Amino acid sequence: MSSNNQQRSGGHGKTTLEKHGNDPPDVTLEEIAEDLLSYIGGSPHLKKTEKQIERKYSIEKEDGDHWSADDIKKAWGKTQRMKKTALKRKQWALALLLQLISRKTIKTTTQCDDNNTGNVSQLIVGNTRDQTKAEGEAVRDKASASKLPSSNEKEHKAQKEEGSRKQTVYIRIPLSDMLSNESTSGGKDEGKGKTGNEPTYKLIDRYPKLPHIQKKKSYIILYNPETRNAMCTYEILNRDTLKKRINSSDEKKEKEIDEPKIKQKQNTDSKQEIQGDLNKMTRGHLAKAANHRWCREAYQDANIKNNMAPQHFALNNGIWQELENYCQKKIQKDTENKTRNLHVYSGPLYIYKETKLRSEKPKIWQDKEVPTHFFKVIIEEYDDGRVNMECYKMPNENPNQKTFQDYNVEIEEIEKDSGLKFTGNGCPEGEIDSTRTVKLEGKDADGKPCSAKITVRISTPLADHNQFAYI
CATH says 128-471 is which class? Answer: alpha beta
What is the pLDDT averaged over residues 169-193?
65
pLDDT computed for residue 408 by the predictor: 97
Question: pLDDT band at residue 140, thresholds of 50, 70 and 90?
Answer: very low
Query: What pLDDT, on a 0 to 100 scale, did the predictor assign at position 224?
Result: 92
Which residues partner with 184 through β-bridges?
Answer: 438
pLDDT tens for residues 285-303? 999 999 999 999 999 999 9
The domain locations on the chain are 3-106, 128-471
pLDDT at 179: 75
Whether pLDDT at 74 is above 70: yes
Read off the pTM.
0.62
pLDDT at 228: 93
Confidence of residue 37 (pLDDT cuts 50, 70, 90): low
Q: What value does the mean pLDDT take over residues 341-359?
A: 82
Q: Which residues on adjacent β-strands are paired with residue 395?
A: 373
User: What confidence category does residue 186 fall into, taking pLDDT thresholds of 50, 70 and 90?
Assistant: low
Residue 388 pLDDT class (50, 70, 90 cuts) = very high
The larger pLDDT score, comparing residue 176 to residue 7, is at: 176
| pLDDT the model gives residue 206 | 83
Sign of the dihedral through C-alpha 51, 57, 59, 65: negative
Please state, for a pLDDT cut of 70, what percent of the chain lies above it.
64
Highest mean pLDDT among 42-46, 71-75, 121-125, 155-159 belongs to: 71-75
Pairing of strands 200-205, 168-173: parallel
Going by pLDDT thresholds of 50, 70 and 90, the confidence category of residue 344 is very high
- As a whole number of angstroms, the distance between CA 363 and CA 309 comes to 12
pLDDT, mean over the chain: 74
Nearest to 440 by CA among 242, 258, 202: 242
Q: What is the mean pLDDT of residues 53-62?
A: 81
